[in-house]
Each structure stands twice: as structure tokens, then as C-alpha cells.
Amino acid sequence: MAAITAIVLLLGTGVAYRVFASRWQMSEDKHIKLPIPLDKLPMQFGDWTGADLEIEAGTEIYMKQHFADDYVSRRYVNATERIWADVYVVYCATRIAGILGHQPRICYPGNGWIWDSTTPSRFVTQSGRTVDCLIHCFHKPAPAFQQVYVLNFYVLNGRITLSEKDFSGWFGRKLNLAGDPARYVAQVQISSTSDLSPGVLASQMADTIFAFLPDEKGLVAAADASRGATQAEGTDRSNDQ
């Protein structure tokens, strides 16, 4: 009898999941939103000044079809040092394994780049936090003769990981039917033709990127800071009156 009950419950759970998943797919807005969108990341980090980069229409369609809930693509230029780097941050919470197609060793070769090497590395943020990352090197053959270095790591539910295996299984492919923004994976990718520029920029802005993402407790530091600033402004206006 217990075995029969367990089978009935399992079948019922499966049916319920398919019903909810179907409703989710039919929803006009199935994206899970961050408290503060990634495009609100500052345009200025020290001597680095940013400008938004346009994403190709085909890439944007691919991202939407593969559950990219939020993203930012931006070039930062350091006029003082005469260096630049492109920053790409994508956040997936609806179905976190959707981010797998964005990994450098799939995305870059798909756009004509040839992979040369992948090297473990790390950088230190402004707050003193050490962050592990991978540096991927690609090139384009003649007549382009281009070289690019891509710093890449993931933030999985608030912790750093370098392995796609951590979110590529059944758990990662499951729809986030609860709409929980703290169940997510975000990819942080910084690239340049200079092998040093990605790490320099990463050390400048990583703390701010982390503040936009839920930490391991599900808290978003940037949202808390924004609420605190709003409350302080309201208090100041009350005092002025």
C-alpha cells in the first residue's frame, strides 16, 4: 500500500510540475527580475568610463530563448592608461542551465574565434576579496590577425564557481517556478586584446557587480543601500519642513 501511495504522489507531482511549467511558458513575462537591473551598474569606476555596447539581434534572440533574465554589455575605457575592456554580465534565474550556451569556449568559437588556451587565475577586489577566475585566450586567423583574452567566472547562488558542472545537471535545467531571484547563476566575463586589462578592470568593479546579485543568504546589497539612501532623503526632507 505504501508503495502504491508513493507512486501516486510521484505521478501527481509530475503532473503538477508540467501544468505549472506550461503556464510559465505561456506567460507574457516569464523573466525573473533583479531588484536593481544590471544596466544600472555605474558607468564610472576609477579612471574607467563605460559606454553600452549593442548586442547583435541574433545574439539577443538567443539570450531570450535561453532564459537570460538580465544582462549588461559595456565597454570601459581607461584614458589615463590607454587601455580598454568589454564587460558582459548575464543573469539566469528562470532556468539557470540556460547560461551554458554563453560560456566562452562555446560562444567565441561560434563567432569565428579559435581557442588557444585556458589558464586559472585570480584577482583581488577593492574590498580585498580574492576571486578565482579563468583566462581564455582566442585568436582569429588571417586576414584578421586578432587576439583576445577573456576573464570568466560564475556566481552561483551567491558563491563563485568556475565549473559549469555545478549547474548543468537536473537542478540547473529545472524551471524556477517559485520565481526566486536568489536561485540563479550569473556569468561575469571581461575581455580585451590586452592580457592585463581584464584583471585590472575586474578588480575595480567586481565588488559592485556582486552587490547587484543576491548573496548566499539571498540579500542584495545594492538594493539595501538604495532603500537606505531613499529613507535618508525622506528623513532629510521631513527635517527641512
Q: What is the mean pLDDT of residues 75-97?
A: 94
Q: What is the CA radius of gyration of the chain?
A: 21
Residue 44 in grid coordinates: 564610472
CA angle in degrees (0–180, nearest 5) for 191-195-198: 40
Q: Are residues 198 and 180 in the same domain?
A: yes
Q: Tens digits of per-residue pLDDT, 165-192? A: 998 887 677 888 888 999 999 999 999 9
Burial class (CB in 10 A: 0-12, 13-18, 19+), 152: buried
Strands (E), the chain: 44-45, 48-52, 70-78, 83-92, 114-124, 130-140, 146-156, 159-161, 185-192
Percent of the chain with pLDDT over 90: 59
pLDDT of amino acid 126: 97
Q: How far apart (Å, rounded) are the C-alpha atoms in residues 156 and 150? A: 19
Q: Are residues 98 and 119 in the same domain?
A: yes
pTM more than 0.85: no
Q: Tens digits of per-residue pLDDT, 34-44? A: 999 999 999 99
Q: Are residues 73 and 2 in the same domain?
A: no
Q: Please tell me which residue, 52 or 96, carries the higher pLDDT value.
A: 52
Average model confidence (pLDDT) for the chain?
83
**Is the pLDDT at 3 greater than 60, yes or no?**
no
* 218 CB neighbour count, 10 Å cutoff: 12
Expressed in angstroms, the distance from the first to the final Cα of the chain is: 72
Domain count, the chain: 2
Three-state DSSP state, 229: helix
234 domain-assigned: no
Beta carbons of 93 and 69 less than 8 angstroms apart: yes
Residue 41 in grid coordinates: 551598474
Q: Are residues 150 and 190 in the same domain?
A: yes
Q: Tens digits of per-residue pLDDT, 107-153? A: 899 888 999 999 999 999 999 999 999 999 999 988 888 999 999 99
232 domain-assigned: no
User: Residue 144 sits in which domain range?
Assistant: 33-226
